[in-house]
Structure 1
Amino acid sequence: MQRIVWLDVARAVAVLGMVVYHFTFDLAMFGYIDPQTPVTGFWALFARAVAGSFIALAGFGLVLSHGQGIGWARFWRRFGIVAGAAGLVTLATYFVMPGQFIYYGVLHSIAVSSLLGLAFLRLPAGVLIVAAAGVIALPMVWRSEAFDAPMLWWVGLSPYVRPSMDFEPLFPWFGPFLIGMAVAKLVLARGNLARGDAGGIGFIGRHSLMIYLVHQPILIGLFSGWVWLNG
């Protein structure tokens, strides 16, 4: 089956952005640039943009795959893959960086948002946009000590959270997911779904999850090898 070309391209651009950011992060981690570079200024905004694009594209994909009716077997298979990958990220980062391990990163956010998104599938695009605005705005104007517990940090409404290398809590990051769903509804209404083969960049888009999982270990391995060779 031919795929939607521009959607694969969008996923590929998000993946490449992620690789660029993590390359910059690794430069800082190995001492080649200022350690604050990847977490301040442009690069901090860039990281949020990349994370938001992944989450929004997941929302788009939910409507594309299940907007006309939920295919439960297909949904649970995809959910299991994403949730399992999220678990692997948590496990790996716990052993590598226990003080800042990823307990609710991009993949965790996509998995939970996909579950919650099922309840929003029948809503029109306008309502989804309003809901997204509310989700994004809430943690800016209200937080509560009631959410200051490890089991509730993922909600994103606690005034304090445990430090993590990647943290995209429900509030505000369910907002981009809802925006992706709204965009999908608008696009589907216009029928802008040209299909074809995006070539090499399409390959990246089709295998975005695998690249997400393996690129950082590969980059760290390359940096470690460079340090060893030049040590």
Structure 2
Amino acid sequence: MRRPSVASSAGAGRLLSLDVARGVALLGMVIFHLCYDLALAGLIPRDVPTREGWRLFAKLVAGSFLFLSGVSLWLAHGRGIRWPVFVRRIGVLALAAAAISATTYAMAPDRFVYFGILHAIAVSNLLALAFLRLPALLTLLVAGGVWALPRLVALPALDHPALHWIGLSTWHRPSMDFEPLFPWAAATLAGLACTRLATAAGLWPRLREREKPAANLLHPLGWPGRHSLAIYLIHQPVLVAVTQAIARLT
């Protein structure tokens, strides 16, 4: 029997639920950045974003983005890499990541973003290509190893700042946003593996059927998720401008 393609497994068109999930992750990111900007403006105590609850919230949001990038990678390329689409997406992510690095370096060179969430998504997706043809359970096992390794290993040989992005050094330079390859690539690999298992179980056609009655609601709710990169790049300058303006008025 011919194996089903990703298109037939996922159903025609976009998965509205995936767009909504991206939108929820995006909302979480905006909430955390608003907290950070309020603290930066002196409108709330400066230590609030570094408190344990907020730090955990930020990690969950970052992990959600990386997991969903693994989901999208399998749905788009699981039965064959569409190289023009993949290269274009990675290129856009790389340019956006470089813009974030340059902008934050100009603002705060001692804490600039040298390997943030966009960098992590781009590099993790490149790494995950090697797992598209490997068994899902093996990919999950590797994901567990990627997550655990930084807790077990710290290599002085990787202490040069140019290598901090790997995540296995004994220290790393401060950054506003830091998601190194180890352990964060684990989330992308886990998303890839879980989506592959869901495809084998025939989840996507059933999900498409469940979406149909609520399509008129899910489609507008998924709008932020369909424009997540643009919103990511725009929202923080807006939040900074608004919070700083409020701080000056008060």
TM-score where L is the length of structure 1: 0.96
One-letter identity of the residue aligned with 1:138: L
Match of 2:225 in 1: 205
Q: Which has the larger radius of gyration?
A: 2
Backbone CA RMSD of aligned residues: 1.2
Question: Is 1:140 aligned to 2:142, yes or no?
Answer: no
Q: Deviations over 1:77-101 (max 9, x none)?
A: 0010111110111011111111100
Alignment match, 2:7: none
What does residue 223 of structure 1 align with?
243
Distance 1:29 1:224 in 2: 8
- How far apart in 2 are the matches of 1:122 and 1:199? 32
Structure 1 unaligned blocks of 5 or more: none
Give, in whole Å, the separation in 2 of the partners of 1:165 and 1:38: 11
Q: 1:121-180 deviations in whole A, cap 9, x for unaligned? A: 111221111000000100101111000001111100001111000001011011111001
Aligned partner (choices 194, 201, 225) of residue 183 of structure 1: 194
**Are 1:12 and 2:32 matched, yes or no?**
no
Give the corresponding residue for 2:135: 124
Change (3 A) 1:87 1:210: same
The change in CA–CA distance for 1:2 and 1:210 in structure 2 (over 3 A counts) is same
Q: Deviations over 1:64-85 (max 9, x none)?
A: 1110001111110001011111
CA distance in 1, matches of 2:70, 2:129: 10
Q: Which residue of 1 aligns with 2:6?
A: none
2:37 pairs, out of 9, 20, 26, with 26
2:66 paired with 1:55: yes
Q: In 1, distance between residues paired with 2:244 and 2:40?
A: 11
Contact 2:139 2:190 in 1 (8 A): yes
Q: 2:88, 2:234 → 1: CA distance?
A: 21
Letter in 2 for 1:217: P
3-state SS of paired residue (1:104): coil
Amino acid at match of 1:70: I
Deviations along 1:176-222, one digit per CA (max 9) or x if unpaired, are: 11001011101211232216642322101100111111111000011
> Which residues of structure 2 form unaligned runs of 5+?
1-11
Corresponding position of 1:39: 50
Task: Output the CA distance in 2 between the equivalents of 1:105 and 1:159.
Answer: 19
Read off the aligned partner of 1:221 and give its amino acid letter.
Answer: A
Work out which of the residue numbers 180, 187, 192 in structure 2 matches 1:169: 180
Structure 2 Cα separation of the partners of residues 160 and 87 of structure 1: 23
The letter for the 1-side match of 2:95 is G
> 2:16 touches 2:219 (CA, 8 Å); kept in 1?
no
**In the aligned structure 2, how far is the partner of 1:217 from the partner of 1:201?**
23
Q: TM-score, normalised by structure 2?
A: 0.89
Q: How many residues align?
A: 230
Aligned-residue offset at 1:2: 3.2
